[in-house]
Chain A
Amino acid sequence: EVQLVQSGAEVKKPGESLRISCKGSGYSFTSYWISWVRQMPGKGLEWMGRIDPSDSYTNYSPSFQGHVTISADKSISTAYLQWSSLKASDTAMYYCARHAQQLVPTFDYWGQGTLVTVSS
């Protein structure tokens, strides 16, 4: 069974750093891209960026370029989303999602979501 299991909820202060994770199982982790999707409270879905776990090549939405970093450790089938300096506006639910095919934003499996709360 394909599963994406994300790390637990986080409460952070502005300016702090954070890395959340997404562990894939039940499939060949290096054969499918992983994307990260943001959902701010009461709002819609926003595509942030993606990674190819086989070579860690990434690309980002212009809206998120430079604000977050996506990485992966294929040895443990885990993708990451990290911030070096959080802002209150980063408060949101973050989902990882598997691409059904490379290049195409068709997301066939999703993680359960990680709620990030940034508050002083």
Chain B
Amino acid sequence: QSALTQPASVSGSPGQSITISCTGTSSDVGSYNLVSWYQQHPGKAPKLMIYEVSKRPSGVSNRFSGSKSGNTASLTISGLQAEDEADYYCCSYAGSSTLGVFGGGTKLTVL
């Protein structure tokens, strides 16, 4: 099972919006609405930001939103803030044996 494809880096200025893509296949992203997104600050454990494509856990800012079209899922962060600077990873269900596959990660820089 290959990793999902994410851009290595994205950047934006405070207040702007950015979108991170996560491209898989018809065997993972395309077949299931089970994509989640994680934020990881340097030296910290990942934190769940979005699950089941577009749902936000309690306590996560509504500036974070998710969507999916075909084999590609997306994470959008609106009203960028300095604290959003981190690495972001997508993860998709990929079947009962492989279960989960992560994307390669995207480094978000807030200019």
Contacts and interface: CB of A to CB of B under 8 A. Distances in A.
A107 B93 contact: no
A109 B1 CA distance: 24
| Size category, A interface | 20 to 34
A63 B36 CA distance: 21
Interface in B87-111: 89, 91-93, 96-105
Contact of A35 (B51, B100, B105): B100
A59 interface: yes
A106 B48 contact: yes
A45 B99 contact: no
A106 B45 contact: no
Contact of A110 (B1, B45, B91): B45
A108 B57 contact: yes
Contacts of A111: 45
Interface string B41-81: 00001111001100001000000000000000000000000
Contact of B46 (A45, A46, A104): A45
A111 B44 CA distance: 10
B45 A62 contact: no
Interface residues of B, number: 27
A39 to B, nearest CB: 9
A104 B45 contact: no
Contact of A45 (B52, B98, B102): B102
B89 to A, nearest CB: 5
A47 B101 contact: yes
B54 to A, nearest CB: 13
A59 B45 contact: no
Interface of A: 35, 37, 44-47, 50, 59, 61-63, 95, 97, 100, 103-108, 110-113
10 contacts: A37-B46, A44-B102, A45-B38, A47-B91, A59-B97, A95-B46, A100-B48, A103-B96, A105-B100, A106-B48
4 nearest A-B residue pairs (beta carbon): A105-B100, A47-B100, A44-B105, A110-B45
